[in-house]
Amino acid sequence: MSRRLISVDRVGIEERAAALGRRSIKHEAKRLGIALATSMIDLTTLEGADTPGKVRHLAAKAVCPDPARPELPSCAAVCVYPALVGVAAEALRGSGVAVASVSTGFPAGQTSLEVKVEETREAVAAGADEIDMVISRDAYLSGDDARVAHEIERVKEACGPAHLKVILETAELPTYAHVRHASQLAIDAGADVIKTSTGKAATGATPGVVLVMLETVRDHAWRTGQLVGVKAAGGVSTTKAALHMLVLVKETLGDEWLTADRFRIGASSLLNDLLMQYAKLDSGHYGRPEDFSKE
């Protein structure tokens, strides 16, 4: 079973990604950028210590990020473990904010396919609108693309109407060429969205990785007309990093991709930094973290 990788120029990608992070975005543009980034957040809590109360609090925050600034939009989704999907769905009913659930033995993915499919079915039945699955890195790294694709297809089938986001966990892929290959593999197997990371690995959505994935999606759209979303997750915790992501999207795919349907940011601590920076634009004073509720 041989694999043909399309080589990716590492230095070129990293230089371009870094260059796109050096723009000065201030005042009104920053205000709009913060609002846009807020609307793209999958507000996430994936801790062993998650409780129904914490998820309800998170859901309220996703619907109305800052009660003092009602002009800010709701987040795109709340992302939780499968056991808490019911609580999140109940809390978000009628709000327009989606419920996302991680699935398939998140974050390692080291369970059998039957368990993965069953877990996905349960999450969808409990009210999940979106499923974030992890690929089997063991299969991918041993060169078994067919097994990776088969698993994605089976999980996609189990999703039914729910959207499927496929997590590549790029920190565990050796090179950008593999990021590109795994992205294409996931898209061909039926992913609605490709996602960088679980947030549990050493690195996450580095600008270079996000740029390679955006370019894969762009090339696929040009070739086939099919639109696939991208989700940057893991390590995007500051306003500066979030605005950097938005610039990458705009310069790679254009304005029509700057919507929550096609680009998401998975984050837990980002929202408070966005709110803090937004408040700074109003008051002129630098803020402090404790002015905003902790999830």
Question: Residues with catalytic annotation?
Answer: 132, 195, 231
Nearer to other proteins, 27 or 223 (CB): 27
CB of 291 to other proteins, least distance (A): 7
CB of 277 to other proteins, least distance (A): 11
Q: Nearest CA to 75 among 55, 56, 94, 61?
A: 61
Counting contacts by CB under 8 A, is residue 157 touching other proteins? no
User: Vertex 197, ends 216 and 126: CA angle to 5°?
Assistant: 105
What x-and-dash track marks residues 223-262 binding other proteins by CB under 8 A?
----------------------------------------
CB of 288 to other proteins, least distance (A): 4
Nearer to other proteins, 161 or 284 (CB): 284
Nearer to other proteins, 143 or 289 (CB): 289
Nearer to other proteins, 12 or 289 (CB): 289
Alpha-carbon distances, residue 144 vs 152, 185, 186, 198, 227 (angstroms): 13, 11, 13, 21, 26
Nearer to other proteins, 222 or 286 (CB): 286
User: Vertex 54, ends 53 and 56: CA angle to 5°?
Assistant: 65
- Interactions with other proteins, residue window 263-292 (CB under 8 A): 284-289, 291
What x-and-dash track marks residues 77-116 binding other proteins by CB under 8 A?
----------------------------------------
Strand bridging mode 263-267 / 130-134: unpaired
Q: Which amino acid is at 92?
A: L
CB of 273 to other proteins, least distance (A): 12
| Binding-site size, other proteins (CB under 8 A) | 7
Length of the chain: 295
CB of 238 to other proteins, least distance (A): 11
- Interactions with other proteins, residue window 170-229 (CB under 8 A): none
The binding site for other proteins (CB under 8 A) comprises 284-289, 291
